[in-house]
Every structure is written in structure tokens, then in C-alpha cells.
Amino acid sequence: MQRQACRCGIVALQIMLGSSCLAGPAWADTSPPGQRSALTTVSAKTLIRLREQAPKAAKLQQSGSTSEPAFFKTKKGAVAVGLMAAGAAFTVWSINHDRKPVKSTIR
């Protein structure tokens, strides 16, 4: 049984190492900035939208006051804290009861 498990482990290791050698190396992109892929550039429409939203974001940061209350002052926050406290209490209770010796007719 142990030989079979050892052989399975060796085969799995050989497959992992062999498949990693088959993958080609990842070379750095040496192309000039003008010829890079579209994933690294921003379209004109996106750039216009970002410039329109920048003043709005700056105003929100300058005002500093938010209309939303803190998370723990909301009903969801209170429920979350209550569930965490109940979970901690159950953990302490179960650890306390697990330390008692097992009573069975066999032992």
C-alpha cells in the first residue's frame, strides 16, 4: 500500500515538473510605447469620462462629510457584531465541554 502511494506521488511530481518545462518563458515587452497592445491604453471616450468625473470626486473629498452612518451603527452592523459574539461564545462553550473525559462502556 505504501509503495503504491509513493509511486503515485512520484508520478504526480514528474507530471508537474514536466508540464512546467513545456511552458515557454515569458519575455518582457520590448516594443516601443506607440506599438503596445490596446490593453495598456485608454480610449478617448474613457479619458473624457474620467476627466468629467474628476471634479465631482474632488468635491466629495473636500466636503469631508458623508451622509452614511458608520457600519457598526447600522442594523446590518449590529447583526454582524451579534453573530460574531454568538460564534465566539459557542466556541468557548464547545471548547469547555470538549475537555471533559469521554465516558463510554468500552473504555
Question: DSSP assignment of 24-80, as one string?
Answer: PP-----S-GGG--GGGS--HHHHHHHHHHHHHHHHHHHH---SSPPGGGSHHHHHH
First to last CA, the chain: 31
Task: Tell me the pLDDT band of 52, cut-offs 50, 70 and 90.
Answer: confident
Three-class secondary structure of residue 48 per DSSP: helix
Residue-range domain boundaries for the chain: 71-100
**For residue 67, what pLDDT band results from cuts at 50, 70 and 90?**
low
For 73-98, give the DSSP string. GSHHHHHHHHHHHHHHHHHHHHHHHH
Predicted pLDDT at 95: 84
Higher pLDDT, 89 or 37: 89
SS3 content of the chain, % helix, strand, coil (to 5): 70, 0, 30
Pick the range with the lowest mean pLDDT from 23-27, 49-53, 90-94, 96-100: 23-27
- Under the banding of pLDDT at 50, 70 and 90, the label for residue 89 is very high
pTM over 0.85: no
What pLDDT is attached to residue 32?
A: 64
SS3 23: coil
Average pLDDT in the 33-54 region? 74
